Structure 1
Amino acid sequence: MYSYEDRIRAVKFYITCGYNAAYTVSKLGYPDASNLKHWYKEYSESNDLHKGRKKVSKFSDREKRDAVDYYFAHDRNALQTVKALGYPSRPLLIQWVKELCPEEGKRRCKSFKSHVRCSQEEKIQAVMESCKGNLKIAQIAEIYGVTPSAVSIWRKELLGEGKTLKMIQPPAEDKSIEQLIREKAELEAKVKRLENDVYKLQLERDILEKAGDILKKEEGINLDQLTNREKVFLIDALRNKYKLNELLPVLKLSKSSYCYQVQCIKSKDKYKELRQQIKELFMCNKEIYGYRRIHCLLRKDGIIVSEKIVRRIMNEEQLIVKAARKRKYNSYKGEITPEVDNIIKRDFS
């Protein structure tokens, strides 16, 4: 699957970044951690990797295409595809999907990525601060809004594995310049935090406004009171402006719940035939039967269903019995004396 050059490049990058498999996979985009460690073990033993030919797959192209077609025909359920066909494994099936259908194989829900992105100049400045020894790595990470491990990775990228940077201590008169640089870094980090806070407040404001427009909710509504289905409608309405991993934490909705609700919305209505029967019974009885009588008629026809389901379907279809309300007695019979002429016409002067 991977060429000799790709494998050598991955192993060397793995050694350079301090034997961090997760960081190597995230940067290169391949392979998985187990393959990478297997390649490194082979490289450490023989100081090289094999250049053999690619293994021939035991599955034919027709079998691959049938498995991918079955996968898309059954709502992209890899487990169901493997159980129905008897082959292959789920990771291999996903690999076939990416090879044969690279565009369709992409999932809508993507994994979360880091929001903190520092420029090359900021990384160099952070490494210089760590080499001076005046600040700890944890303090430098707090200034730049990253984790301490990120600062360590920057050191390994810029200085290399096991190397140190010898810096000449500046004279006493240059300490004021060093203090100004540190204060500048702190102010820039503070500005970034304030920008992030403003961005989050704007996000919450847009969610509340969209809740009023789409869900007809009043202003000042508590987002915790929304159902998962309503939250999905809000997320889909704001996806063109915000990312999914930004909307989910604000609405307190997990990614798995979001994907489940999306599939439920796309799925067919299992009460479609029952809805039509309830409408016909309601119209045939002059629109005067409530859900209890409709439920009795359904039972007579041999349809076993709960009264709650009948009531919910009638509410969704707006099948409401029209009943005339009696007016209460009122002795007021209107004005019995003629109206007085408006002589002043509001001219009180």
Structure 2
Amino acid sequence: MLHDISMIYAEHNGTYGYRRIADEYNAIHEKKYNRKRFYRLAHIVGLLAVIRRKRPAYQRSTPEVTAENILNREFTANTVNEKWCTDVTEMKYGSEGEKAYLSAILDLKGRDIVSFAIGKSNNNQLVFETFDLAVQKYPDAHPLFYSDRGFQYTSRSFKEKLNKQGMQQSMSRVGRCIDNGPMEGFWGILKCEMYYLNRFETYEALVSAVEQFIHYYNHQRRQHKLNCLPPATYRSLLEAA
């Protein structure tokens, strides 16, 4: 059992703590061992998971369009494509600390990343591309669309895109990152389990790592709240039901 625990830890690049190791082991071996057992065994072999860092705050611009906080921290959904959350995060690469930006949309039922886009500028084009990719993937989806009050989401152009797709807009309150908790949580996972563990000399290397991690997150990384299934598998089961 210690060998299997060590293998799971290594397979996920040291990012799994005892809880996720327990979920992975139990799923693979069809067991229901208590997490406390894995806590003890992980300490015996000296396995420690990486710790997430706090995300810095960013200044917001004057909005053209605002919307009520309809979601109001109701982060559960009854079906896939009922509620989508979105956000943009900053990353750096190269010896001069050049900036790159990742935009993503997350489904609140399946917890999968519906779409994402990476660019060197935090602009409307980045957010619009992310949105367009999501619509291409699920053209019949009309979710409640939730974001913070970043300038891209409060632009008239973005509001028009939402209206065209029949989506209702919802926005967090000013300065309340917790209002977009699921997206903040995903950024924490991505940065803790991939970004902070590596140095990226080029933009291309960073893009490749992000693409690989999001595929891993959607298709391999089990979530306890999803019956210990990866998001893509969980979504597929819901869609087939």
Rg larger in 1 or in 2? 1
TM-score of the aligned structures, taking structure 1 as reference length: 0.19
Judging by fraction of residues, say which structure has more strand. 2
Judging by fraction of residues, say which structure has more helix. 1
TM-score of the aligned structures, taking structure 2 as reference length: 0.26
Higher relative contact order (CA 8 A, sep 6+): 2
